[in-house]
Chains A and B, each alone.
Chain A
Amino acid sequence: MVTKPLTKNIDMSRPPLDMAGYEAADGYQSLHAIAKGLAPADVLQRVKDSGLKGRGGAGFPTGLKWSFVPMGPEAPKQKYLVVNADEMEPGTFKDRLLMEGDPHLLIEGMLIAAYTIQADKAYIFLRGEYIVAERRLRKAIDEAYARGYLGQNILGMGFNLDIVLHTSAGRYICGEETALLNALEGKRANPRAKPPFPQVSGLWGKPTIVNNVETLCNLPGILTYGVDWYHSLTKGTDHGTKLCGVSGKVKNPGCWELPLGTPIRELFEDYAGGMQDGLALRGFLPGGGSTDFLLPEHLDLTLDYDVIGKAGSRLATGTMIILDDQTCPVGMVGNLMKFFAHESCGFCTPCRDGLPWVDEIFNDFENGRGTEKDLAILHEHVDYLGPGRTFCALAPGATAPLGSGLRHFREDFERHIKDKKCSYRG
């Protein structure tokens, strides 16, 4: 039985499977199953039943997201599927693996999603720096056209799909789905006001689904091996497997496919090998730079969206960033604040003006000029930049490591003020 549906074909010591190899490994079976008589509504029901949640960071149920797309004869004829392949969340390195390692899996997932919402055009929004992924995806797309899995009247179903691979040119904000749509339309990538949501009015005003790479890569397994099989994968409350990464000063940093519900300790100790010699674990961001710090006492939590949510953080991208006891927590949060300040699109005031202010204060702390008043201003910004204060989730994302960093590492901030320097740097 398949237990690692996302990575079963991935072996980075060789090129990815070509069409023949991929088909021999049950590839495109889901498309043949659809051609044998699954209606879009049948596929939607299976995806809903699977319990799949979006793997891009927000964890929204995929079937529910799709169900908002207008269907039937009254629905707009033109609809779009857009793949969010703009992986840029600090500390996140999972979609690269999928696209470089098994590009056909993404294409198969796209076919399932596009068929379900009856979109005949799909764009892959790939970050410009992912040059190997671009090359491998282009080859796989060409193979899929040649095999009749893309183009007109696919497998005689009367269903058409064209895939365009769009390579972007930077800027973290493009990962925000409405900013991404603006970028695809050739505009500055400022996020849009919601509603209307993209499912109703997205790319060029047409109904559009934006899904993350890993989300789409979950679909072929669900259709090929069934919902019951998918439900058998998990060890916890959420369904399926998840790509989980560990970076920082651990013995064996890397990215692995694990059942959801796996204890964090297993990921950290058995897979990542625990801390490098002479270092102790101080804390970690469980799912990229926009998540709240968790502490060593949280290692026995399981990798589940709700479990980590209840502990005050988010599973988000599932890629952990480890803070060791000889790295300055103030410096680490400061690095993240610099990132968010730099990547703000500049559209709304709290984010555009607030984040650089926060960044400046962290510079002051680094250089021994931090004061108690600065600390109070940082605390205020956790609120000023929080959820509901801004147009999109970038600034609230920044407040996750900021607020939790201030809470968990307060003595380090105080020590910077008292010592008038960063004592981690001697």
Chain B
Amino acid sequence: MSSDVIASNAPTRARRLTAEEIAEIEHEMTLYPDKRAVGLEALKIVQKHQGWVSDESLLAIAKYLEIPPSDLEGVATFFNLVYRQPVGRNVMLFCNSVSCWIMGCEGLRKHMKDTLGIDFGDTSADGHFTLIPVPCLGDCDRAPVMMVGPDLHRNLTEEKIDAIVADYRNKKS
């Protein structure tokens, strides 16, 4: 079996990496002594450009870096910030570790379920938001906290979440 095809009912083939993706991956290759070490970086680069890592993208990276696709898939599925499914325009990394739990994050999770219709792992119907739990974000003195895209939001309340949601909907639509 060719290493750039996943066997299934409809064989999936590696897509062509963009010139921009290749340039960024090549830069990473100057920082590490072997290609394999760049696998995770390459997954992140592709995700930055494509929003997520499709089978076609994964195969393309594996081929480019000469890493067995199974090994790269092992890495991709290990790290929770590598998305192997499509996500919404804004990923919400919702801290549900102990300090945020004490400060009431479960109530906020329910509020998001009630208002956005999404729980952990779900994407809102309008495609704006994907909600994912994340280990302690290291901002426990301002719990509860979550990140939306690259932005950290602190001392969350239901009202604050409503405002944040409205803000991203307006800003990014």
Contact = CB atoms under 8 A, between A and B. Distances in A.
B141 A169 contact: no
B99 A90 contact: yes
Interface string A71-115: 000000000000000011111110110000000000000000000
Interface residues of A, number: 55
A327 interface: yes
A87 B140 CA distance: 12
Contacts of A169: 40, 43-44, 79-82
A133 to B, nearest CB: 9
B122 interface: no
Nearest to B97: A90
Contacts of B98: 90-91, 285, 289, 321, 332, 335-336, 339
Interface stretch (A18-26, A152-160, A181-189, A302-310): A181-189
Interface string A115-131: 00000000000011111
Interface stretch (B12-20, B29-37, B123-131): B29-37
A93 B44 contact: no
A267 B39 CA distance: 44
Nearest to A183: B40
A185 B36 contact: yes
B135 to A, nearest CB: 5
A96 B139 contact: yes
Interface in B125-155: 134-143, 147, 150, 152
Interface of A: 87-93, 95-96, 127-132, 164, 166-172, 183-189, 204, 245-249, 253-255, 285, 289, 319, 321-324, 327, 331-332, 335-336, 339, 342-343, 345
Interface of B: 31-34, 36-41, 43-44, 67, 71, 74-75, 78-82, 93, 96-99, 101-103, 134-143, 147, 150, 152
Q: Which 8 A-B pairs have the closest CB atoms?
A: A247-B140, A169-B79, A253-B141, A170-B80, A169-B81, A186-B37, A247-B99, A90-B97
